């Protein structure tokens, strides 16, 4: 049976650390354009919907190939979980187009280095293993959290994992961090549990480059450097 899939890109307009971050320029395009193009190039989705409360973002999103027939009617503040914004957009989409979807893929626009191939691989894993909830993650590298510490007022460290301090890094289990790049859920369990972190959720690893998440200007600079490095590597190969 053919799966009916929708991609939802949540893009509220009230970002503070980078004003209108979702359409800020990233490598000569609005940041959101990279996610819209990746979703469309994957060829997987019946709809690529941008959910926003901003007319400016909606206009840019439409120019780059997304559908924006309605504005977000709830969860546009900085405190609401993004899962709820996506669920609300999914409900709006089902009512607007009078369509049901087997799954929804949430793609955060501040993860512009995740490409079509990453999306295809994630959806294939999701469907192959018949998962209900799948959240993208990446493996920690040189910044090993096993050695993390808190500092008191006198700069004295309190080890978070004191049992790991004396162990070699190669003897410690690998640790993974979630990223907003690609979250997928079956629609019925998502409506039921109201979060992508449902009872049966799993993590699906992707490369750390694809997982880069932009929140502030330092992140933006770092992501641009990574993007240029990837482009140069592709040209030289």
The per-residue pLDDT for 208 is 95
Instruction: Give the E-state strand segments of 5-124 in sequence order.
Output: 5-10, 25-26, 29-30, 47-51, 103-106
Q: Can you tell me the mean pLDDT for 34-53?
A: 97
The per-residue pLDDT for 144 is 87
The per-residue pLDDT for 210 is 96
Is residue 51 very low, low, confident or very high in pLDDT (cuts 50, 70, 90)? very high
Q: Is residue 96 over pLDDT 80?
A: yes
Q: Residues 145-157: pLDDT tens digits? A: 999 999 999 999 9
Element (H or E) spanning 230, and its range?
helix 217-236
Is residue 80 very low, low, confident or very high in pLDDT (cuts 50, 70, 90)? confident
Question: Which distant-in-sequence residues (6+ apart) come within 8 Å of 3 by Cβ?
Answer: 102, 103, 127
The per-residue pLDDT for 9 is 98
The per-residue pLDDT for 1 is 65
Q: Is 67 helix (H, G, I), strand (E, B) or coil?
A: strand
The encoded tokens of residue 144 equal 């090993």
Domains of the chain: which residue ranges?
5-139+177-236, 141-174
φ/ψ bin of 26: left (φ > 0), alpha (ψ from -120 to 50), beta (otherwise): beta
The per-residue pLDDT for 40 is 98
Q: Is residue 113 over pLDDT 80?
A: yes
Question: Which distant-in-sequence residues (6+ apart) come within 8 Å of 184 by Cβ?
Answer: 103, 104, 105, 106, 122, 123, 126, 131, 133, 134, 196
Residues 42, 126 contacting (CB under 8 angstroms): no
Q: Can you tell me the mean pLDDT for 47-54?
A: 96
Is residue 102 very low, low, confident or very high in pLDDT (cuts 50, 70, 90)? very high
Residue positions counted in the chain = 237
The per-residue pLDDT for 130 is 97
Q: Can you tell me the mean pLDDT for 90-112?
A: 97
Is residue 16 very low, low, confident or very high in pLDDT (cuts 50, 70, 90)? confident
Q: Residues 182-233: pLDDT tens digits? A: 999 999 999 999 999 999 999 999 999 999 999 999 999 999 999 998 888 7
Q: Residues 169-196: pLDDT tens digits? A: 889 999 999 999 999 999 999 999 999 9
Under CATH, which architecture does the 5-139+177-236 domain have? Alpha-Beta Complex (3.90)
The per-residue pLDDT for 230 is 82
Which residues, listed in sequence order, are joined to residue 187 by a DSSP beta bridge?
Answer: none
The encoded tokens of residue 108 equal 């955060």
The per-residue pLDDT for 87 is 96
CA distance 201 to 110: 22
Q: Is residue 45 over pLDDT 90?
A: yes
Q: Can you tell me the mean pLDDT for 106-112?
A: 97
- The lowest-confidence range among 71-75, 84-88, 120-124 is 71-75
């Amino acid at each position: 049976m053919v799966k009916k899939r929708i991609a939802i890109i949540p893009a509220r307009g009230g970002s503070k650390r980078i004003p209108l971050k979702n359409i800020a320029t990233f490598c000569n395009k609005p940041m959101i354009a990279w996610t819209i193009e990746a979703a469309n190039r994957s060829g997987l989705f019946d709809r690529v919907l941008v959910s926003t409360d901003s007319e400016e973002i909606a206009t840019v999103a439409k120019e780059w190939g997304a559908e924006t027939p309605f504005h977000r009617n709830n969860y546009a503040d900085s405190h609401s979980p993004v899962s709820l914004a996506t669920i609300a957009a999914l409900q709006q989409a089902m009512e607007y187009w009078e369509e049901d979807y087997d799954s929804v893929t949430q793609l955060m626009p501040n993860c512009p280095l995740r490409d079509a191939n990453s999306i295809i691989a994630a959806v294939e894993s999701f469907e192959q293993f018949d998962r209900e909830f799948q959240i993208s993650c990446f493996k920690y590298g040189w910044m090993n959290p096993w050695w993390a510490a808190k500092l008191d007022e006198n700069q004295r460290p309190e080890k978070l994992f004191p049992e790991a301090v004396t162990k070699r890094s190669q003897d410690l289990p690998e640790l993974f961090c979630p990223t907003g790049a690609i979250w997928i859920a079956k629609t019925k369990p998502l409506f039921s549990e109201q979060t992508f972190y449902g009872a049966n959720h799993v993590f699906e690893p992707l490369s750390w480059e694809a997982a880069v998440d932009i929140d502030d200007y330092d992140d933006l600079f770092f992501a641009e450097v990574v993007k240029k490095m990837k482009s140069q590597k592709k040209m030289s190969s």
